[in-house]
Amino acid sequence: MPWQAAHVTSTEAIELLESLLAGRTSTAEVLRAFQAAPVADLGFAQIDLHRSLRKGFPEVIYGEGKTPEQVARIAQKIVQRDGRFLATRVGPEHARAVRRLIPSASYNQSVRCISFERVPLKKRPGTIAILAAGTSDLPVAEEAALTAEIMGNRVERYYDVGVAGLHRLLRHLEAIQRANVVIAVAGMEGALPSVVGGLVGRPVIAVPTSVGYGAHLGGLTPLFGMLTSCASGLTVVNINNGFGAGCAASQINALAADAAAGVARNGLPVDALKRPSNARKPAGRSKARRPTRDKRRSA
């Protein structure tokens, strides 16, 4: 049984709970499966091994500030547990160290991400539209795209559609409106998310970038512009945080897919907590049936 392994993934947890409800698995087996230690202690890092159980994807490695050896060892432990990993803000030295332990890992130098998946996650229904105002914004937009894709989403890219040539955006508007969630990446004055937010009836996640001249202030100008946007419901992440936008969009898309399929969070069917008619009843004392009182009076 898959849940007899040292740890339980989200999919395995669902199978285990369904088996319990159907009476095929005992309560003791369930407890043993979920009592596995949720943390791997590497000394320099405490890896959250239950992240995929709660969030549907394992802990993501932020590489900046970590040595190549640290990133490699963390990635190796996560792959042993989940069969996939994603590390952001990594350089060529990190990639070389990771590939010594995980030869098939894929490194994207322009995006500064390295990833691996033994078996790709099944793509959920619906799409995430990712817009980049200019070509200079592509590294941040691609970080969002890579994040969303490895987390099990279909991504549609619309690049170089900034407001300086609004017709470039409008020609794709019908397709963008069909997406479940939109990510809009922009530097300079950061106007693109506000424009998109007024044109689509979907959640829009704005990502300011550090692309721009002096008064751009390293991304603060588009950040402030997006935070003070008059477009209703616009959500803003930090400067250059493509990963954060991709992760948030993935969660929104998962909710939309689950709602369409009639399932609750983490893919558990809405009626899964209803005990099947053939389920084994928990062992316990049986209640004695009270004798019925004869209400008829004798003549």
pLDDT digits (tens, 9 = 90+) for 122-151: 999 999 999 999 999 999 999 999 999 999
My answer on whether 162 and 206 are in the same domain is: yes
Angstrom distance (rounded) from CA 32 to CA 273: 20
Whether residue 31 is predicted with pLDDT greater than 70 in this model: the reply is no
Q: Is residue 13 part of a domain?
A: yes
pLDDT for the residue 37: 63
Any residues with CB less than 8 A from the CB of 276 and at least 6 apart, and which?
A: 21, 22
Nearest CA-CA partner of 263 in 125, 129, 58: 125
pLDDT for the residue 7: 56
**SS3 (DSSP) at 288:** coil
Quote the domain boundaries for residue 29.
Answer: 1-36
Q: Is residue 141 part of a domain?
A: yes
Whether residue 2 is predicted with pLDDT greater than 50 in this model: the reply is no
My answer on whether 32 and 42 are in the same domain is: no
The domain total for the chain is 3
pLDDT bin (cut points 50, 70, 90) of residue 15 is confident
Q: Is residue 6 part of a domain?
A: yes
My answer on whether 139 and 177 are in the same domain is: yes
Angstrom distance (rounded) from CA 289 to CA 282: 19
Asked whether the CA dihedral 73, 76, 82, 88 is positive or negative, the reply is positive
Angstrom distance (rounded) from CA 164 to CA 197: 17
Any residues with CB less than 8 A from the CB of 228 and at least 6 apart, and which?
A: none
My answer on whether 78 and 147 are in the same domain is: no
Q: Is residue 293 part of a domain?
A: no
Indicate yes or no: pTM above 0.85.
no
pLDDT bin (cut points 50, 70, 90) of residue 293 is low
My answer on whether 153 and 79 are in the same domain is: no
Angstrom distance (rounded) from CA 43 to CA 62: 17
**SS3 (DSSP) at 182:** strand
